Amino acid sequence: MSKYVIAIDGSVNALRAVDHVIKLVAVDGQNGSLELHLVNVQPPFRRAVSTHISADQIKQYHQEEGMKELEEARKRLDRAGVKYDYHLFVGDPAEVLTRYAKDNGCHQIVMGTRGMGSVSNMLMGSVATKVIHLTDVPVLLVK
């Protein structure tokens, strides 16, 4: 049984990664041998905001935003009849993905990338680049 983490941020890039995994499962026949974990990471608010807003409200906001970003990926997997589990965290996306994969003994992290040039990549510091630096787990980038 292989465990895959799929990073979902609500972008079309992430959906390309989902489509790719659906294809992998189709080739495989069943996804009995593949355990899929969708992981969405919400950016935390700054201290100035969380000082004034209750923990409940902030949690609820993160949940609603996260579920929105997971929605289309879940729909596609449901439609394809692929089984999966989904998770929602708050923090730095690259750090959370890396930690999740490690803590849960995952075999691969699948991510969509923007496929941008090296200059903007350097400026923006893509999540994928950071994950590759941080993790020991194989990373599959889908462009």
Chain positions contacting other proteins, by CB under 8 A: 40, 42-59, 61-63, 66-67, 70, 86-92, 95-96, 99-100, 103, 123-124
Please, which residue, 91 or 138, has the CB nearer to other proteins?
A: 91
Please, which residue, 26 or 53, has the CB nearer to other proteins?
A: 53
Tell me the closest approach of the beta carbon of residue 79 to other proteins, in angstroms: 20
Phi, psi values for residue 55, rounded to 5°: -60, -40
Give residue for tokens 């069943």.
30
Tell me the closest approach of the beta carbon of residue 109 to other proteins, in angstroms: 15
Please, which residue, 4 or 100, has the CB nearer to other proteins?
A: 100
Tell me the closest approach of the beta carbon of residue 80 to other proteins, in angstroms: 20
- Torsion from C-alpha of 132, 88, 83, 12, nearest 10 degrees: -60
- Strand-pair partners of 103: none
Token reading at 26: 């189709």
Please, which residue, 91 or 115, has the CB nearer to other proteins?
A: 91
Phi, psi values for residue 3, rounded to 5°: -105, 125
Cβ–Cβ < 8 Å for 76, 18: yes
